Amino acid sequence: MLPGISESADQFGDGELHMRSQKLLIIDNSPVQCQTLSRVFRRLGYDVVTATGGVDGLTRVAEQRPDAIILDLLLPDIDGVQICRQLKQGAETNRLPVILFTGRTRVIDILHGFQAGADMFIAKGLTLMKLVNFVKALLAEHTHEADGFDVQMAMKTSQELLRMLIGAFDGIVRARLELALGLNATASILDQATKELPTGWKLQALREGMYWYLDIRQAVIQFATFVSAVFQILEQKREDIEVGHLKEAFEHQLIFFD
């Protein structure tokens, strides 16, 4: 089985074929992976264009004008985050849905991806149905055409992502602070940091998944704002904690998706 693909493309049979003019661009450094994903989405009735590098991918965006992009982070010439940022800053491409589909799943990769404007981050190795469903969900919003996606699956996929990021924070940062400073001092720091979040994006709401699946980017960005505030507070307090090492440990933590 190809790494990053959890199902055979054959399971997405012609019975699911629909007539549509929606076009997907897949940018991935593996020609085999491009081919496999192309088979899946073409069986579902999409027009698919592929590129195995960032420069080629950006050229195809201009030439082919896709409706959505599936983008790997590990490319031979331009980092996927840089491509995403360039697309989201472009006047003609800033509303183009971009899903990061990659095997690079450190905390910092996920945070940087959303901060660059990605609409979703899905790890290779997950069930391919999650990718297909979120592509449908984003295209339905982008083109205002209903496409039979599973709303509950989209919600679960987005909530699982943020839950794992918060779990990494709790397991590395919060646990270290509680050990070094105690429960009360740690709670005080976290309370102070959460005040940096706007109304409606408090940490407890993020923990409980109280946001719509289309708001996953903003949810992750607000979580990143909270984390940044925690580290700024620690640097100001100059407690007996190596803040730089703690931050590095958190940012380079691998996220293992179910």
Q: Is 124 helix (H, G, I), strand (E, B) or coil?
A: strand
| 78-88 per-position pLDDT tens digit | 999 999 999 99
The b-or-e profile of 173-206 (16+ CB within 10 A means b, else e) is bbebbeeebeeeebeebbeebbeebeeebbbeeb
pLDDT at 11: 58
pLDDT at 240: 74
Residue 236: domain span: 153-251
In a domain, 196, yes or no: yes
CB 23 within 8 A of CB 48: yes
CB 225 within 8 A of CB 233: no
pLDDT at 108: 98
Number of domains in the chain: 2
pLDDT at 100: 98
In a domain, 1, yes or no: no
pLDDT at 17: 47
pLDDT at 146: 64
CB 135 within 8 A of CB 99: yes
Residues 122 and 73 in one domain: yes
In a domain, 3, yes or no: no
pTM: 0.91
Q: Domain ends where: 149, 171, 192?
A: 149
Residues 131 and 198 in one domain: no
pLDDT at 148: 82
Residues 86 and 140 in one domain: yes
In a domain, 256, yes or no: no
Element holding 100 (H helix, E strand)? strand 98-102
Which residue stretches of the chain have pLDDT < 50?
Answer: 1-4, 6, 15-19
In a domain, 72, yes or no: yes
Q: Domain ends where: 131, 149, 167?
A: 149
Residues 138 and 86 in one domain: yes
Question: What count of other Cβ atoms lies within 10 Å of the Cβ of residue 92?
Answer: 10
